[in-house]
Amino acid sequence: MTAATTLLANQVQRLQTRVDSLERERKQLLALLDLLREISGSLHYLDIVQTVARRLGNTFGLDRCSVFLAERGGGAVHLVASYEDPAIRNHVVDLSRYPELRRALETGSVVKIPDATRDPSLAGVFAVLTSRRVQSITVVPITWRDAAIGAIFLRTFRDGPAFTEGDVHFCQVVASLTAKALRNAHRFERLQLRRGEDPVGRAADRERAALVGFLRRLLDAFTTKEEPWGEGALARASTAEVDRLVGVAMTVLSQEAAAR
């Protein structure tokens, strides 16, 4: 191979690397726009953190992506969303099992462990990490006014793509957006409490209003008929059929209340 051929091959390789990098950035920007669209339209913190965990897990093909939130004043830390187990909502964690998470929350800085199965701080879980073919662990703090209020925990597969500095920066942007969305959700919740508004109570009021309207229309429809109706007719009706009609009516009432 001549020197000119070698030079050309190197240039092609650098160009291909740059193209791959630009394509990765394009996909991340699209994912960021989708994420921003979802969390900016939500005012409930569970919806926000679950969206973040799902989006990041799908974007990077992670072994694990979790969101943790910390109580004020150094209280308990809660696992509130998990990519691999969407059913998780609020689980208090033992920080002694997550030294990397504790470090991120205490320092407010990103914690990166390139090879999790060789890091001394994770010696107690080497067997678990090896069996799951874990490669790296990255913990990105979620900060608000220079205080860590939570963290995004990301764990990659050994056979998967490496977690780059660009990926870490992307996750820091996501963490910043998450903090703002959580703050907005918190303000909305406080506003509701000051106004004495209870979302569950208001939904129940709407269902009761829909029920009253439904019964009025139902009674009006039956009382306009000349046929007799009463307990005798009801006794002849099938109990199962009555139960079925009640179930249908309650479903309609819920939908009617939700639409108001």
Taking the chain, what is the end-to-end CA distance rounded to the nearest angstrom? Answer: 75
Does residue 5 sit within a domain?
no
Cα 240 to Cα 218: distance, rounded to the nearest angstrom: 20
Which of 194, 218, 233 finishes a domain? Answer: 194
Do 118 and 228 lie in a common domain? no
Quick: pLDDT tens for 75-133: 899 999 999 988 888 999 999 889 999 999 999 999 999 999 999 989 888 888 999 89
Does residue 3 sit within a domain?
no
Cα 231 to Cα 250: distance, rounded to the nearest angstrom: 22
Cα 177 to Cα 171: distance, rounded to the nearest angstrom: 10
Do 217 and 169 lie in a common domain? no
**Does the pLDDT at position 188 exceed 70?**
yes
Do 181 and 236 lie in a common domain? no
Print burial letters for 154-174: b (CB count within 10 Å at least 16), e (below 16): bbbbeeeeebeeebeebbbeb
Which of 148, 178, 194 finishes a domain? Answer: 194
Which of 160, 194, 228 finishes a domain? Answer: 194
Do 30 and 93 lie in a common domain? yes
Q: Is the pTM of this model over 0.85?
A: no
Cα 69 to Cα 76: distance, rounded to the nearest angstrom: 9
Do 176 and 224 lie in a common domain? no
Do 132 and 45 lie in a common domain? yes
CATH code of 152's domain:
3.30.450.40
In which domain, by residue range, is 221 found? Answer: 199-259
Do 106 and 153 lie in a common domain? yes
Print burial letters for 113-123: b (CB count within 10 Å at least 16), e (below 16): beebbebeebe
Looking at the DSSP assignment, which residues form a beta bridge with residue 147? 144
Domain count, the chain: 2
Q: What is the 3-state composition of the chain as percent helix, strand, coil, each rounded to the nearest 5?
A: 65, 15, 20
Does residue 164 sit within a domain?
yes
Per the listing, tokens 């209280």 go with 75
Do 150 and 203 lie in a common domain? no
Quick: pLDDT tens for 19-44: 777 777 777 777 777 777 878 777 78
Nearest partner of 184 among 38, 36, 42, judged by Cα = 42
Does residue 8 sit within a domain?
no
pLDDT band at 146 (very low <50, low <70, confident <90, very high): confident
Q: Give the per-residue pLDDT at 231.
A: 47
Cα 110 to Cα 112: distance, rounded to the nearest angstrom: 6
Do 32 and 119 lie in a common domain? yes
Do 210 and 237 lie in a common domain? yes
DSSP state of 4: H
Does residue 2 sit within a domain?
no
Sheet with 147-157, strands from edge to edge, namely: 91-92, 77-82, 64-70, 147-157, 134-144, 111-113
Do 167 and 124 lie in a common domain? yes
Do 84 and 207 lie in a common domain? no
Contacts of 193 (CB under 8 A, 6+ apart): none
Q: What is the mean pLDDT of residues 187-207?
A: 67
